[in-house]
Every structure is written in structure tokens, then in C-alpha cells.
Amino acid sequence: MNNHVTVLEIDANAILHNLQYFKQKLQPQTKILAVVKAFGYGSDAVEIAKIVKDHVDYFSVAYSNEGIALREAGIDTPILVLHPQIQNIKEIVKYRLEPNLYNFKIFEAFLNYAKDVPLMNYPIHIKFNTGLNRLGFWHTDIPNIVAQLKKSNNIVVQSIFSHLAASEDLNEQEFTVEQINNFAYIIKQIYAHLGYEPMIHILNTSGVVHFPQAQFDMVRVGIGLYGFSNTAKETTELKNTHSLKSIISQIHNVQPGETVGYNRAFVASKPTRSATVPVGHADGISRRLGNKNGFVIINNQPAPIIGNVCMDMIMVDVTKIDCEEGDEVIIFNHQQHVEYMAHKCETIPYEILTAISQRVKRLVKR
């Protein structure tokens, strides 16, 4: 039983609102894949899946164990595993997960396994690299892929997809349009030779916002579900989904010249009240937020983090805040606060959210 007082609240209605927001940007027939990898962007993948499963067509996870967790929780929706490994193939099939086959090594390993079992028309997905240079076949691989697919009735291609490198960045618009055009060309060739027409998809959240004309049959929405879009303005249309909350464990009155925390990093220049909060870098609060780079909210007022962030605790300045031990501390409950933290940590909200460790208790608010 996880009784850590620091809790990550997940707002189910906010998730549904955000899903709806992206849905209204799409054609009615476009399918939606909800990306729930990395514990649902640091929240709880099973809970997110339960919240949205009646409103989406697909889920995707990065690794097969993440998909198994969804199946074990009773989620029946198709699940695309974005980054499967050869040693996972047996489990993938056992749990009816649908692998992304991105190179000949895993493609042939899966085909051989499917033939040995034998499987009949097992759904797989094929990824093409169109410029991200991360995972995926090259367009020159098409003849070989198609030849092998046509020989097999053990597998069926459920979808063909690619991933954009810079969909959030309109300075890279030309590159993105080229990726989309290359993808369309790949699809045309495959459709011409395969004998059937699998679903196709290329857009992530920021792709939906900037390039809705490339929505094809499905879009893959991740960060958008969790409340973040391309611009600060558009993010205000979305609802906050993750709120990290804790309580004040102890308050100290620190005299001028005394110090707070490791390395004596905070030195009181005047009488200071410091509050200790049970959340630290092991919970996902970066050390970069120490020394007044970050703040929490106590009784509606900002309390700067003073001194260094410890593994399990932070100390915050509450000199000017009317508060006592046991009072609620909001580490963040707003996208702008997460964006501020990301800015201070020289990163992006994705990393702030996914850094929240499994030690922190998750609580779904419906």
C-alpha cells in the first residue's frame, strides 16, 4: 500500500476534455490513438486507459511490458507497441499486442515466429523513417517488405506509419511538409503493390495542431491529452490533468546567519520561516529547482524552494505565508507552473511529467 503523503492527482474530466478538444480538430472518420507510454506520461497508464477507452480506437505504449500491464488490467482496445524487441515477440502475441516492425531484423523474426506457431492474419504495424532517423524502414526497403508480406498469410498489416521530427516548430515547416510528402509517396507505392490498404498515420499532438491536412486515417495524441499544446495560448484551451500535492511536515524559525539544507546552500539574511515538504529529487523534483529557481504554492501564495533539493524533501520559504504544519502544499496544479519548471530545468513539460517517480501515490479524481 502506497501511503506517501505526496500525491499525483489525475483529473479524469480534464483528460476527457483534452481528448475532445483534439477530436474536434479532426474529420469525423479519423481514428484516435491515445499514447499512454511511460505510465501515461508520468501519471498512471491503466487509469488513463480506463478513462479514455470508450472514446479512442487505439492505445500505444513504447515497450511490451507497458502493453501487458494494460491487458492485465482488462483493457481490450488494440495496443500498438512502438518499440518492441525480438526477445518480446512471444509475450507480444500472448497478450494480443500489435508490434511496430521497424527493421528487417524484427520484421523477419516476427514473420518466422508467426509462421512457426502458426498465426493467422496477426495484426502488425510497419514504420517508415521519413527524416527523424530514429526507428523505421527506408523507402528503398519497400520492394523487399512487400515481397515478404505477399508470401505470408500469418500476418496482416494493420497500419503503416511514420513520425515527424519537428511538428511543433513552424520554422521547420518546410522539412515537415517534405516528411509528409515522402510518407504519402511511400504509402502510394505500398498500396499499389500490397493488394490491400492498411491504415496510415503520421501526426502526433503538435502535428494535429499544425498539419491537420495530414491526419490520414488516424492520429496519435500524447502530450495533448495531458494538457499541453504547441503554444502557451493553445495550452490555455486545455485543462490541467496532473496535480502534484503534498503537505508541510515541519516548520522551522531560522535566525539570521543560520543556514538551511545540504551544503548550507541557503543562508538566512533575516529571520526566516522554512517549511519542509516530503517531496525531493527522488520523486522527480529536479535539483535545478533548488536555490529559489522553483516554487510551490501554499495557501494560494508562492513559496520559493530554498537551498538544495534533497532526495526526499525540499525546504521552502514561508516567512510571509500564514501556514502551519500539516497544511497542503501544491507543487504544481497548472500547466503554466509545469512550463515554468521546465524552463528553469532547461527541458520540456514532457520530462517534468514523466519524471514523477513511482514512489508518489496516484489518485484519480472523477
Residue 205's nearest CA partner among 177, 227, 190 is 227
Q: Which is nearer to ligand PLP, 221 or 297 (CB)?
A: 221
Q: Which is nearer to ligand PLP, 62 or 156 (CB)?
A: 62
Q: Where are the beta strands (DSSP E) in the chain?
A: 7-11, 31-35, 58-61, 79-81, 98-101, 122-127, 155-161, 199-201, 218-221, 242-247, 250-254, 259-260, 266-267, 272-277, 295-298, 301-306, 314-317, 328-332, 361-365
Which residues are within 8 A (CB) of 87 and not within 5 positions of it... i.e. 6 or more apart?
Answer: none
Kindly state the helix (H) or strand (E) to which residue 335 belongs, with its residue range. helix 335-344
Cell numbers linked to 206: 503538435
Candidates 102, 111, 163, 276; binder of ligand PLP (CB under 6 A) is 163
Q: Is 69 helix (H, G, I), strand (E, B) or coil?
A: helix
Among residues 8, 51, 82, 124, the one that binds ligand PLP under rule CB under 6 A: 82
Out of 8, 34, 145, 223, the residue judged to bind ligand PLP by CB under 6 A = 223
Q: Does 214 bind ligand PLP (CB under 6 A)?
A: no
Considering only the stretches 15-23, 90-98, 201-209, 341-349, report the one whose residues sit in contact with ligand PLP under the rule CB under 6 A.
201-209
Of positions 6, 159, 205, 286, contacts ligand PLP by CB under 6 A: 205
Q: Which is nearer to ligand PLP, 83 or 281 (CB)?
A: 83
Q: Does 15 bind ligand PLP (CB under 6 A)?
A: no
Among 58, 154, 183, 220, binds ligand PLP (CB under 6 A): 220
84 binds ligand PLP (CB under 6 A): no
Binding span for ligand PLP by CB under 6 A among 172-180, 216-224, 273-281, 330-338: 216-224
Segment near ligand PLP (CB under 6 A); pick from 218-226, 231-239, 260-268, 270-278: 218-226
Residue 317 neighbours by CB under 8 Å, 6+ apart: 272, 273, 274, 292, 303, 304, 306
**C-beta closer to ligand PLP: residue 37 or 362:** 37
> Of the candidates 54, 52, 98, 45, which has an alpha carbon nearest to the alpha carbon of residue 72?
45
Please spell the DSSP secondary structure of 152-187, one letter per residue. Answer: -SSEEEEEEE---SSTT-GGGHHHHHHHHHHHHHHH
Phi, psi angles (nearest 5°) of residue 266: -100, 125
* Stretch binding ligand PLP (CB under 6 A), from 140-148, 214-222, 254-262, 329-337: 214-222
Q: How far is the CB of 304 from ligand PLP (least distance, A)?
A: 30
Nearest approach, Cβ of 153 to ligand PLP (angstroms)? 28
Q: Does the protein bind ligand PLP through residue 35 (CB under 6 A)?
A: yes
Q: Are 331 and 296 in contact (CB under 8 A)?
A: yes
Asked whether position 221 contacts ligand PLP by CB under 6 A, the answer is: yes
Q: Nine-digit cell at 349? A: 513539460
Place of cell 474529420: 27
Active site residues: 37, 262
The one among 30, 43, 179, 204 contacting ligand PLP by CB under 6 A: 204
What are the Cα distances from residue 127, in Å, to 34, 46, 59, 142, 163?
17, 25, 16, 11, 8
Which of 40, 222, 290, 349 is the binder for ligand PLP (CB under 6 A)? 222
Interface region with ligand PLP, contact rule CB under 6 A, candidates 66-74, 199-207, 278-286, 293-301: 199-207
Instruction: Note the residues at the interface with ligand PLP (CB under 6 A).
Output: 35, 37, 82, 163, 204-206, 220-224
